[in-house]
Amino acid sequence: MAAVPSLSRSLEYALLGFLNERPMHGYDIYRELHRPDGIGIVWHITRSQLYALLVKLEEQGYISVSLQPQENRPTRRIFHLTETGNAAFTSWVVTPVERPRDIRLEFLVKLYFARREGTEAVFQLVRAQRVRCLEWLANYSARAEACRITCPFEWLVWQFRIGQVEAQLKWLERCILHSNEKKNASTE
């Protein structure tokens, strides 16, 4: 399977995520992207960028288009997720990000869609990301220890990265606690 184009991977997967829920026309997707309680808080996209990404995803076989005639208006293009697009999105949304800096954008988008799928999807994603963060922490700690005496500046850099990962782990715990609170509130 070919990789989703990389102009903005998390954004492209977000488009697949919206279409995973239901077929939509471009303006519906645009509105979803700009909802105040949605991923619009993570980043902004223009309509022209959106339509360019939709064309790329169609060319790659991740989405297909059907035409819907409208009375007294231009024909509407309805975008549908293909099996290839569904497989790519389903795999992406449960896979932890590979670099700490990707938590800021890509992981947040994954978390957004996991929350739409339900508490178990959130737990699965957060647990997997937590494991990945612990791997980073162990790696960074070993690297910091290796240069502690010989390269003081490098040691400081690794300490900074360790602090970032520790903060990410703390935030992931909050995600789990928040999901548990929502789960408990819905069962009461």
In a domain, 4, yes or no: no
The torsion angles phi and psi of 6, rounded to 5 degrees, stand at -105, 20
The pLDDT tens digits of the residues spanning 173-183 come to 999 887 766 66
Tell me whether residue 180 is in a domain: yes
Average pLDDT over residues 150-170: 97
Average pLDDT, the chain: 90
CATH number at residue 23: 1.10.10.10
Smallest Cα–Cα separation from 93: which of 180, 181, 1, 9?
Answer: 9
* pTM of the full structure: 0.86
The residue among 62, 93, 124 that closes a domain is: 93
Q: How confident is the model at residue 185 (pLDDT cuts 50, 70, 90)?
A: low
What domain count does the chain have?
Answer: 2
Quick one: tokens of 79?
């975008």
Residues 49 and 119 grouped into a single domain: no
Amino acid at 75: T
22 and 69 assigned to the same domain: yes
Whether 20 is in a domain gets the answer: yes
Among the candidates 93, 118, 146, a domain finishes at: 93
**pLDDT tens-digit map of 4-29:** 434 468 889 999 999 999 999 999 99
Instruction: Judge whether 56 lies within some domain.
Output: yes
User: Is residue 100 one of the residues assigned to a domain?
Assistant: no
Residue 67: give the domain boundaries.
9-93
Q: What is the dihedral of CA 84, 87, 91, 93, to 10 degrees?
A: 90
| Cα separation, 8 vs 12, whole angstroms | 6
- 57, 120: one domain: no
| 165 pLDDT higher than 60 | yes
In this structure, are 89 and 112 located in the same domain? no
Q: What pLDDT, on the 0 to 100 scale, is given for residue 4?
A: 46
Which of 93, 118, 135 represents a domain boundary (last residue)? Answer: 93
What is the residue whose two structure tokens read 């492209």?
12
- Same structural domain, 18 and 88: yes
Return the number of other C-beta atoms located less than 10 Å from residue 22's C-beta. Answer: 10
C-alpha to C-alpha distance for 72 and 27, rounded to whole angstroms:
18
What is the 8-class DSSP label of residue 31?
H
DSSP 103: G
* Contact present, 23 and 65 (Cβ < 8 Å): no
Residues 56-95: tens digit of each pLDDT? 999 999 999 999 888 888 889 999 999 999 999 999 999 9
What is the CB neighbour count within 10 angstroms for residue 43? 15
Considering the domain boundaries, does residue 70 fall inside one? yes
Query: Based on the domain organization, do 13 and 80 belong to the same domain?
Result: yes
Question: Is the same domain home to 119 and 181?
Answer: yes
**Same domain membership, residue 79 and residue 149:** no
Q: In this structure, is residue 103 part of a structural domain?
A: no
